[in-house]
Amino acid sequence: MTRLSGTLLIDTDMGRFLGDKRIRLLEAIDQSGSISQAAKAVPMSYKAAWDAVDDMNNLAPEALVLRSAGGRHGGGTELTAFARRLIGFYRALEDASQRALEKLSSKLEHNADCGVDDFRQVLRRMSMKTSARNQFAGPVVAVHEGVVDTEVSVQLAPTLVLTAIVTRASAETMGLQLGTEVMAFVKASSILLMVGEEERISARNRFSGSVTRIHQGPVNAEVTLSMPGGHHAITAVITKDSVQRLGLAEGQPACAVFKASSVFLVALD
């Protein structure tokens, strides 16, 4: 008999954001208090580890990982109590899920109309992901309808609101209204960075924070800003020349700016 096994992905009202590799990353962070050491233990690259942490913090209802100024190792990263509860829940659910898969594989083996390969194909289709670097989740808190377009405001945190512009037809199709839970996606290439005093600019979204990481490439660089409170982060792709011209460095205040029309929404309700 073919044994069917797999890893668990958790869906919440904030979308799919947690799987085995990310759980192992959280466990390693809890053990070492260091992103770099945790990345080696998983294993994964340092950049991929921080990208995963940012994604989880952005999508979770509470922060999972926080930077600490002076912890067990003189500063680093720490898990929140919420993250530890989530790990325990995940491991218990994973065990129950595996037992259910073993029963399912036995049934599929004796069903000529539905094979294991068919089931695996369905799982692959269900696990498709978006290419947008920045993913956020929250409820709709304002909807302003125009003749053609609709302006939608999404509450990411008590003091953090994202604004999107979608067609009126799209808003009606998704049933967007106050309280609707949505996912918001923004490509890193659609984000501009500003430093110093703000200048007049037409972009609707302005997220102020501090630079936490700069990943240099041959031509471009990924710059990640952490929002106040450490819960959310946003990543922009800009040229290496822009990094130098703006004098960007870790710990420096900066502002991420992007148009409302650059935001893509998906309703979860």
pLDDT at 9: 59
CA–CA separation, 55 vs 171, rounded Å? 25
Ramachandran area for residue 230 (φ above 0: left; ψ -120 to 50: alpha; else beta): left
Q: What is the pLDDT of residues 193-220, one digit of tens each?
A: 999 876 677 788 999 999 999 998 888 9
Mean pLDDT of the 81-97 span? 80
> Does one domain contain both 31 and 102?
yes
Calpha distance 155→269 (Å, rounded): 16
Q: Indicate the pTM of the whole model.
A: 0.63
Residue finishing a domain among 82, 105, 126: 126
Predicted confidence at residue 121, as pLDDT, reads 45
Question: Which of these three, 80, 104, 126, is where a domain ends?
Answer: 126
Structural domain count of the chain: 2
**pLDDT above 80 (res 98):** no
* pLDDT (average), residues 152-162: 92
Same domain? 86 vs 149: no
Q: What is the mean pLDDT of the chain?
A: 81
Domain of 261, in residue numbers: 134-267
Q: Does residue 76 register a pLDDT over 80? A: no
pLDDT greater at residue 91 or residue 171? 171
In this structure, is residue 120 part of a structural domain? yes
CB 136 within 8 A of CB 184: yes
